[in-house]
Amino acid sequence: MTTRPPVPPFTRETAIEKVRLAEDAWNSRDPEKVSLGYTVDSRWRNRAEFVNGREEIVAFLTRKWHRELDYRLIKELWAFTGNRIAVRFAYECHDDSGQWYRSYGNENWDFGEDGLMRVRLACINDLPIAESDRKYHWPLGRRPENHPGLSDLGF
C-alpha cells in the first residue's frame, strides 16, 4: 500500500502542506505525476465533467494542459477537518489564439487513511483577461516561496 503524507487527520499545518503539495504537482503539468496523488478509483467532478480513476485523470489533465497553455496555479487552504480539505484557487493560462484567462474556483477534497485523495469536487469560473492584467509571472513550474498567495493578491 502506498502512503502519500501528510495523512489524515489533518492539522492546520498538515492541511496547508497538503494544499501546497497539490499546487506543486499541478504546476508541474505532468498528468502522470498528478494522478499519483489520487486513489486508483478516485472520483472527480470538474465543472460539468465527471472523471473516474487514474486513467481518466491522466486523459483529462492531458487534454486540459493541451488547451490551457502556460498554466500557473495558486491554491489556498479554506477549511479542513479530519480527512477533508476545502481549498480555493486561481490559475492563469492562455489558449492557442493568445487569449489569457484567470480561472477562479473552489475544491472539496476527501482523503483515505493513506493520504491519497478519493474525491475531488471542483467548481470553476473563467474570466478573460488582458495579458497586461496577468499576476502570475514566475517561470513555469513550482511557484516561488516569495510569490504572493491568493489573499496577498486580493483574490
Q: Within a domain: residue 7?
A: no
- Per DSSP bridges, beta strands 38-46 and 84-94 are unpaired
Q: Within a domain: residue 50?
A: yes
Rounded to 5 degrees, φ, ψ at 79 are -160, 165
CATH classification at residue 78? 3.10.450.50
Q: Within a domain: residue 1?
A: no
Q: Within a domain: residue 2?
A: no
Local confidence band at 2 (pLDDT 50, 70, 90 cut-offs): confident
pLDDT given at position 1: 64
Distance of CA 70 to the CA centre of its chain: 15
Q: Within a domain: residue 4?
A: no
Q: Within a domain: residue 6?
A: no
Q: What is the pTM of this model?
A: 0.97
For residue 75, count CB atoms less than 10 angstroms from its CB and return exposed for 0-12, middle for 13-18, buried for 19 or more.
buried
Q: Which domain holds residue 36?
A: 12-136+147-153
Give 63-80 pLDDT, tens digit per residue. Answer: 999 999 999 999 999 999
Give 5-45 pLDDT, tens digit per residue. Answer: 999 999 999 999 999 999 999 999 999 999 999 999 999 99
Q: Within a domain: residue 141?
A: no
For residue 98, count CB atoms less than 10 angstroms from its CB and return exposed for 0-12, middle for 13-18, buried for 19 or more.
exposed
15 touches 92 (CB < 8 A): no
Q: Does the pLDDT value for residue 121 go beyond 80?
A: yes
Q: Within a domain: residue 39?
A: yes
Our count of domains for the chain comes to 1
Local confidence band at 61 (pLDDT 50, 70, 90 cut-offs): very high
21 touches 142 (CB < 8 A): no
Cell of 124: 470553476
- Per DSSP bridges, beta strands 49-52 and 117-129 are unpaired
